[in-house]
Amino acid sequence: MLRPTAPWLLLCAFPLPGQGPGMRERTELVAQFDQDGNRRLDTDEREAARAWMAENRPQRNRGPGGPGGPGGFGPPGSGPEGEGDPANAEPKVGRKVTPADVQTHLDKPFYDPDVVRTIFLDVPGTDWFDELVAFYRTDVELPVTMTVDGTTYTDVGMRFRGNSSFGGARGKKKSINLTLDFVHQDQHLGGYRTLNLLNAHSDASFLREALHARIVRQYLPAMQANLVRVVINGEDHGIYANVQQFNKDFLDEEFGTGKGARFRVPADFSGNGALVWLGDDVAAYKRAYQLKSKDDPKAWERLADLCRVLAESADAELPQVLPQYLDIDHALWFLACDNALIDGDGYYSRGSDYVLWLDPEDRFHVLPMDSNEVLGAEMGGPGMRGPGGRGPGGAPPDGQRPRAGAFDGAPVPRGGPPDGPGFGPGAPGGPGAGPGGRRGGPGGSNPTQAPLAQLDRQDRPLVNRLLAVPQWRARYLAFVRTLATTGLDWKTHQPQVARWVAAIDDIVANDVHALYGHAQFRTQTADEPTGRTLRAMLAQRQKVLLGDPAMQSAAPVFATAEATESPTETTVALTFTARTSGATRLLAHVADGKLAAWTTLVMHDDGKNGDAKAGDGEFTAATNPLLRSHRIRWWIEAIAEDGTVSCSPPAAGSRPNVRAADRSDKKK
């Protein structure tokens, strides 16, 4: 039986009425207290709203032991720094920093990985921290002045954000959301209107969000991330992960349109947000998903339809039916990245903390979000108590070993072997089991997780249903192989990690608000192949994935893969040509438009029905004329006799080859 002080249990034990575990609606205050109708709360209006909140905040959001609960969990607030530590009872004050003390980077993109900008925030009031805590999980933002690279931005909206990164972080280092167009609609920073500054909760290295973006964005549309320094009212608050907002700007960058419905699946320990079928009533989905764009009944209905198709379609029907609802390659890459990087609070772990985009063609795209707990992060976060929780500074409490599943130099399976009866946070019949004997689970990293783990879990339908289709499973394994051989290669990332460490080492060493100590930062970022370093985790996952029986078949190897054009004034036909070794069948996939569905062409070797032994080994296929005004996408799939797959480019349809349109095509 789980002890009642388990940190993850505190998060989900006190939901608001009508909500699933881990889900908490924000309290809407602006409409109630906005007396002058400017759609925000000024000083007097915030004072009235704050007084109201003090009397009316739902007490069930607080864990046992008063505000914050054990270990600092539970809004509102988590107590002052040094609470419970007599030797450190006085609030800590960071060193003073001015704009003259820092370097500017006016010529660099905002998410340049080699740039560590300093964001200065001038927050009004002497009790600004308490005010931000009071308005946590509300629609109230504080207007602040922000200075970056010598440029001042006025009336920027500021609020605290996050789940465990708020409740589990003692002191003033909370995750921050900044809205540049809070008052001034045209105000932006480097083209971005919203900034997410994350406090690296559960990540003593500070680098996991940035490293995750560096790896995953090669293969899958995902939010950009780098590092920034935050200074509030002249006081250094240290390094934060700067992660791109999932909004119209992101969609326009990645897909060429900001249209469509944006869903977020927040932390939800029930697992109901894993695209499981909850029935026809959309009210059930509204308890597990958050629609971040304009409310649209049709978007909710389409979400329910996707879940129904995943639940009810026969395996043989899925290849024809599911692509009408879901971008398959995005979903397969999403699973491959979540598995390979062992996201401690992702889809495999607890079926939440990801995003969905319903594009204008009514297809969903599954994309990662919230990646601070990848690669064996400090599970439970700093100061957490309970089973496997960590004490102040991230040290195991009372001399205990780190929680099972956290990497400490040797693989420690959580509850049994990777595919054994006790595997994973949703092991059947375990404590907290939900319908069908399963549970969403508290999250956690399992460094020995197999590429084909959780195939039998019906409450993880993306795994259970997509990987039941032979051609999709083969493609997924090709993606895992690409990740294991190139994406997780330490030699590729070591120079960038070294640059990050050099850039922030002094800041981390002098950050009195840091959730972890400087020694832990240096330990995890060290260029060492053993212990709890990032290098060791990458090597561990490479070894596990490439050594798995499912990965032992020889994959085809591309020698060439190209397309030539036959244009007319308004159209263009493409002829695909490829040479491989080890493939007996080749397919060319082409889409006539930036969001159009894929069409598959069988490639032939000199017209000999695709038999590699019949001709000269050069496979070709040609399209019908396509519109030159469209953004034409294509990729080639090589299939060995035993079904093993390779793709060119390796990201396949997730990041395909693109023939740019001759002119813009607004309709597509």
Quick: pLDDT tens for 306-327: 999 999 999 999 999 999 999 9
152 with 20, same domain: the answer is yes
Burial class (CB in 10 A: 0-12, 13-18, 19+), 298: exposed
Choice between 19 and 649, residue whose per-residue pLDDT is larger: 649
Q: Quick check: helix, strand or coil at residue 602?
A: strand
Per DSSP, 486 falls in state I
User: Does residue 28 register a pLDDT over 90?
Assistant: yes
Give the rounded percent of residues in the chain with a pLDDT score beyond 70.
Answer: 78
pLDDT at site 74: 38
* Pair (516, 591) in one structural domain: no
135-159: b (≥16 Cβ within 10 Å) or e = bbbbebbbbbebbbbeeebebbbbb
Mean pLDDT of the chain: 83
Indicate if 250 and 115 belong to the same structural domain.
yes
Contact 235, 93 (CB under 8 A): yes
pLDDT band at 83, cuts 50/70/90?
A: very low
Q: Which pLDDT value is given to residue 424?
A: 34
- Characterize the bridge pairing of strands 632-639 and 585-592: antiparallel
Q: Give residue-wise pLDDT tens across range 340-386.
A: 999 988 999 989 999 999 999 999 999 999 888 899 877 555 654 33
Mean of the pLDDT values across residues 569-597? 95
SS3 646: strand
Least confident of 4-18, 155-169, 439-453: 4-18
Number of Cβ within a 10 Å radius of residue 212: 25
Instruction: Say yes or no: 227 and 277 in one domain.
Output: no
- What percent of the chain has a predicted confidence (pLDDT) above 90? 71
The label of the residue with tokens 């990777």 reads 418
pLDDT at site 446: 83
- Claim to verify: residue 241 and residue 377 sit in the same structural domain: no
Question: What are the backbone angles phi and psi of residue 304, rounded to the nearest 5°?
Answer: -60, -40
The candidate with the shortest Cα–Cα distance to 650, out of 452, 451, 483, 489, is 483
pLDDT at 615: 59
Q: How far is CA 581 from the centre of its chain?
A: 36
Q: Which pLDDT belongs to residue 392?
A: 34
Pairing assessment for the beta strands 225-232 and 116-122 based on DSSP bridges: parallel
Region 591-614 average pLDDT: 78
Distances (CA, A) of 419 to 68, 245, 362, 431: 37, 36, 35, 18
219 and 250 housed in the same domain: yes
Q: Categorize the per-residue pLDDT at 63 as very low, low, confident or very high, splitting at 50, 70 and 90.
A: very low
Spatial contact of 552 and 545, defined as CB atoms under 8 Å apart? no
pLDDT of amino acid 552: 96
Q: What tokens appear for 538 in the block? A: 């990458």
Query: 357 and 209 in one domain?
Result: no
Average the pLDDT over 252-261 and give the result: 95
Q: How far apart are CA 608 and CA 359, in angstroms?
A: 39
What amino acid occupies position 212? H
Q: Are residues 360 and 425 in the same domain?
A: yes
Of 459, 483, 507, which residue is a domain's last?
Answer: 483
Query: How confident is the model over 618-644, as pLDDT tens digits?
Result: 999 999 999 888 999 999 999 999 999
- The residue among 189, 192, 195, 197 whose CA lies nearest residue 227 is 197
Residue pair 197/228 in contact (Cβ under 8 Å)? The answer is yes
Both structure tokens of 39: 């759609």
Report the pLDDT value the prediction gives residue 660, as an integer from 0 to 100. Answer: 83
Residue 565 has pLDDT above 80, yes or no: yes
pTM above 0.95, yes or no: no
Judge whether 599 lies within some domain: yes
* Residue 121 domain flag: yes
Q: Output the domain CATH number for residue 571.
A: 2.60.40.10
With CA atoms as reference, report the closest residue to 355 among 337, 334, 377, 328: 334
CA distances from 152 to 120, 146, 373, 589 (A): 9, 6, 33, 48
Answer yes or no: is 95 within a domain.
Answer: yes
Same domain flag for 479 and 413:
yes
Identify the residue with better confidence: 187 or 21: 187
Which of 551, 581, 601 represents a domain boundary (last residue)?
551
How many domains in the chain?
4
Identify the pLDDT of residue 286.
Answer: 95
Q: Kindly state whether residue 666 falls inside one of the protein's structural domains.
A: no
Q: Compare 616 and 302 and report the one with higher pLDDT.
A: 302
**Residue 69, by phi and psi: left (phi above 0), alpha (psi -120 to 50) or beta?**
left
Q: How far apart are the first and last CA of the chain?
A: 54
Tell me whether residue 2 is in a domain.
no
- The answer to whether 146 and 190 have CB atoms below 8 angstroms apart is no
C-alpha separations of 283 from 268, 301, 309 in Å:
16, 10, 18
Q: How far is CA 484 from CA 231, 266, 337, 374, 523, in A?
A: 38, 28, 10, 15, 24
Question: What kind and span of H or E run contains 659?
Answer: strand 657-659
What is each CA distance from 417 to 235, 378, 446, 449, in whole angstroms? 48, 21, 10, 9
Q: Are residues 508 and 589 in the same domain?
A: no
pLDDT band at 90 (very low <50, low <70, confident <90, very high): low
Tokens read off for 418: 């990777």
Tokens in use for 264?
């977020």
User: DSSP alpha helices (H): ranges in 22-84?
Assistant: 30-33, 43-56
Per-residue pLDDT, averaged over 321-335, amounts to 98
Q: Is 262 helix (H, G, I), strand (E, B) or coil?
A: strand
In a domain, 665, yes or no: no
> What gap in Å lies between CA 186 and CA 208, rounded to an integer?
32
DSSP per residue, 371-384: -TT-SS--TT-TT-
Buried b (16+ CB within 10 A) or exposed e, 592-628: bbbbbebeebebbbeeeebebeeeeebbbbebeebbb
Q: What is the pLDDT of residue 445?
A: 66
In a domain, 667, yes or no: no
pLDDT digits (tens, 9 = 90+) for 113-165: 999 999 999 999 899 999 999 999 999 999 999 999 999 999 999 999 987 77
Does residue 78 have a pLDDT over 50? no
Same domain for 363 and 476: yes
Last residue of a domain, one of 447, 465, 483: 483
CA–CA–CA angle 89, 91, 96 (5° rounding):
145
Range scoring the smallest mean pLDDT among 22-36, 208-222, 623-637: 22-36
Q: What is the pLDDT of residues 154-180, one digit of tens each?
A: 999 999 998 777 877 778 899 999 999
Structural domain that includes position 283: 262-393+403-483
So what's the pLDDT on residue 377? 77
**For strand 645-648 and strand 618-622, is the pairing parallel, antiparallel, or unpaired?**
unpaired
Residue 1 lies in a domain: no
Whether residues 112 and 201 share a domain: the answer is yes
pLDDT at 381: 59
Q: Please give the radius of gyration of the chain, using alpha carbons only, rounded to the nearest integer.
A: 25
Higher pLDDT, 157 or 614: 157
